[in-house]
Amino acid sequence: MAYNKFKLKDLKIKFGIENSSRHFLPQELLPFVPSQKVLSELADAEGVALATEKAKSEHIITPTIKELRRRNLEKFSYFSGYEFNVDKKQGLNGYCDFIFSAKPHKIEIENPIFCFVEAKKDDIDGWFGQCGAEMYAAQLYNEREGNPRKVIYGCVTNAFSWCFLKLEDKNLFIDPNYIPLTFSEPHRVLEVLQWILDDSLQQN
């Protein structure tokens, strides 16, 4: 088994993780004014064929994450396509699309705080299990490294719609408000990502 084989029911059966729909994102967030750089990159993407997950990742998701990184250079690092093997016997192994680490300027994962899954075939709901498994693996990893965290965050997106998750102990909360991202207005997603980053770093 690997992360991408998990469904929500597997998390409950194997690890006792309960899932529920719950609003946990604040209704009001601090403004995040996108730079001209990311707006230009997204404008260029509007003329690109975005029929594959790879194209969406390269032209929409990655520029958005890089924008967050530019605004928070000394706060975190991110890893793309990272092999995050925590417990192969339990199926907590495989490649993660993106992982955020609370440690900046690192070449290996330390203190993971956020797991990010790119939905295949635009089926966001079908990948909650994978995201939850990665989040649980991050929780275990931090405990074993002596850096326990109360909360791990996650996200599943098809690039244009972003669903955010929160793992607290053995409870996986899925926020029912999917956040849209458009070529000209990425600020709403960036505001949520900034809030998640700030909330995660406060746990340190």
Q: List, for residues 152-164, the tens digit of each pLDDT value.
A: 999 999 999 999 9
* Residue listed under structure tokens 């469904």: 7
pLDDT top residue among 4 and 203: 4
By the 8 A CB rule, do 198 and 73 touch?
A: no
Q: Is 146 left (phi over 0), alpha (psi -120 to 50) or beta?
A: left
pLDDT, residue 27, reads 92
Task: Provide long-range contacts, Cβ within 8 A and 24+ apart, for 135-138.
Answer: 135/165, 135/167, 135/172, 136/11, 136/15, 136/17, 136/92, 136/167, 137/3, 137/84, 137/86, 137/87, 137/92, 138/84, 138/86, 138/99, 138/112, 138/113
**Global pTM exceeds 0.75:** yes
Task: State residue 105's pLDDT score.
Answer: 86
Task: For residue range 78-94, list pLDDT tens digits in order.
Answer: 999 999 999 999 999 99
pLDDT(48) > 90: no
Integer CA distances (angstroms), 5 to 163, 173, 185, in order? 19, 20, 33
Residue 204 pLDDT exceeds 80: no
The share of the chain scoring above pLDDT 70, in percent, equals: 100
Residue-level pLDDT at 1: 83
pLDDT band at 47 (very low <50, low <70, confident <90, very high): confident
- Assess if CATH 3.30.70 describes domain 3-201: no
**In contact, 158 and 146? CB cutoff 8 Å:** no
pLDDT at 52: 87
Please determine, for residue 167, whether its predicted confidence score (pLDDT) is greater than 80.
yes
Q: Find the mean pLDDT for residues 131-136.
A: 99
Q: Is the confidence at residue 50, as pLDDT, over 90? A: no
Taking residues 95-121, report their average pLDDT.
95
The pLDDT value recorded for residue 203 is 84
Number of Cα atoms under 13 Å in the Cβ half of residue 190? 25
